[in-house]
Amino acid sequence: MTWLVTGGAGYIGSHVVQALKDAGISPVVLDDLSSGFEQFVPDDVPFVRASLLDTSAVEGALREHEVTGVIHVAGFKYAGVSVQRPLHTYTQNVTGTVSLLSAMLAADVARMVFSSSAATFGTPDVDLVTEDAPTNPESPYGESKLIGEWLLADAERAHGLTHTSLRYFNVVGSGSDGLYDTSPHNLFPIVFNMLYRGETPRINGDDYDTPDGTCVRDYVHVSDLAVSHVAAARRMEAGEPLERVYNLGSGNGSSVREIMDAIRDVTGIDFEPKVHDRRPGDPARIVATGELAARDIEWEMRHDLREMVRSAWSARQAAGDAYPA
């Protein structure tokens, strides 16, 4: 078994690569390093620096390394920015996926685990999001991920592609001090960087209809997420059935206030977050069930909130001033 991980030099992709290695599966990384880091790729893992848009380069990587399946993590992942950059978002996430599927067809590779997103749901009107919840994406990013799922379904009908899509919510934590989230739009990196610079973090709105007035979101540990990608790949190799879509959610969620409290406790930095007005469009609560994924692809919340914070903070401290600002 050899699996290509697109975006394998990024935050989530690098954890998937490590999980493949831990499972005894040979990974190959393809990444253009637009948001990834070559140092995230282990020395003993083949690395192909190429864009997904370069179909011939992708096909060459598939053939050269005798790849048997693809875990497709690469993409432009900034939902908010996608509103200002829709064409870039669609090029990277839709055209890139078409290019990848074309290369896979040419190289006779017919298995894919797709990194989808909770953004496909938009703002759900239910307390607990299941796979059957209506999809109503509210950004070009969310739309591009939903189109990606459609592309896989079409490729199945036309070409026999075996596939599944994993929709996940707020990915946090770290499986190693050498791997960390560098997104300028995610809560943990934002708060950690502010604390690192001696600034005070902020909460956007504390008057929501939630237990403590702050937004409730679903936070999952990146290492737990990676295990389920590998479990899905192994089921495909074994010819075992998979659902077309899985949610990877906690079933409970945590509020922004709870996150701030955990960060204060774990870091030992005493701070009281500043409360600002609500951000337009922020729903009070988005939490998903992971029951189907627990049944089929070893989904389990192995890390509690404090462990998520502790691992992420440890990686941030280890990076020090070398962390991308």
Band (319; pLDDT cuts 50, 70, 90): confident
Residue-by-residue DSSP string for 188-246:
HHHHHHHHHTTPPPEEE-S-SSSTTSS-EE-EEEHHHHHHHHHHHHHHHHHT----SEE
Residues 100 and 232 in one domain: yes
Residues 211 and 286 in one domain: yes
48 touches 33 (CB < 8 A): no
**CATH (domain of 74):** 3.40.50.720
16 touches 5 (CB < 8 A): yes
Lowest mean pLDDT among 56-60, 153-157, 179-183: 179-183
Structural element, H or E, at residue 141: helix 140-159
Residues 206 and 223 in one domain: no
CA dist 77 and 316 (Å) reads 21
From 201, 232, 248, give the residue that closes a domain: 248
Residue 154 lies in a domain: yes
- What is the domain count for the chain? 2
Residues 207 and 139 in one domain: no
**CATH (domain of 317):** 3.90.25.10
pLDDT for residue 284? 87
Residues 213 and 129 in one domain: no
pLDDT for residue 163? 98
Catalytic residue among 11, 141, 219, 246: 141
Residue 281: is its pLDDT beyond 80?
A: no
Catalytic annotation on 141? Answer: yes
Residue 179 lies in a domain: no
Residues 76 and 108 in one domain: yes
Domain that holds residue 194: 187-217+251-322
Q: pTM for this one?
A: 0.96
User: From start to end of the chain, where are the E strands?
Assistant: 2-6, 26-31, 47-49, 69-72, 111-115, 162-168, 170-172, 202-204, 216-217, 219-221, 245-248, 254-255, 274-276, 285-286
